[in-house]
Structure 1
Amino acid sequence: MRSVWFAGQAVRQVRHGSSASDNFHAKYGTGLMASGAVFCVAVWGYVLTQTGITWNMSPVGKVMPKEWREAEEE
């Protein structure tokens, strides 16, 4: 008899989604997105300006090609 109750409970959870209320995103979604964006920009701003990491993005002018080696003749 218990398995029937659990099956009904599982069907109800699937049908209604999670136990969180539907208005959670309406209440807090915009604030969470904005605070996450501000946090991300603040962390990357700190990393780019304060950590002293040398960012070698472009190899132009830094990578020198090796000289061609002539094929050894026998």
Structure 2
Amino acid sequence: MYRFAKAALNLSGQASRQVAVRHASSGASREFHAKYGMPLLISGATFCTAIWAYVITSTGISWNLSPVGKVQPKEWRE
């Protein structure tokens, strides 16, 4: 069990070092987010709002928000 625990800690240490190295060299992703982050967020929100506006107004779905009085049991067939 000791060898397994030691190997697991060694692997997690190696993994954390690799992640630290990746974060240190991620200047390109910071530039991308600084340049395109807000336009992507705005376009995504606009797209989502437009799709839901279409679904709510144009598809003809009847929005039965309350099932009270609308759900009727079916007749029993033998």
Same fold flag (TM > 0.5): yes
Superposition TM-score tier, normalisation by shorter sequence: 0.5 to 0.7
1:51-74 C-alpha deviation (Å, 9 max, x unpaired): 00111111234346xxxxxxxxxx
The structure whose residues are more often helix, as a share, is 2
Q: What TM-score comes out, normalization by structure 2 length?
A: 0.54
Aligned to 1:54: 62
Identity %: 57
Size of the aligned set, in residue pairs, is 57
Unaligned 5+ segments in structure 2 are 1-17, 73-78
Unaligned 5+ segments in structure 1 are 1-10, 65-74
- 4+ residue segments displaced more than 6 Å: none
Q: What TM-score comes out, normalization by structure 1 length?
A: 0.57
Aligned to 1:36: 44
Please say which structure displays the higher CA radius of gyration: 1
Instruction: Pick one of 45, 58, 63 that aligns with 2:53.
Output: 45
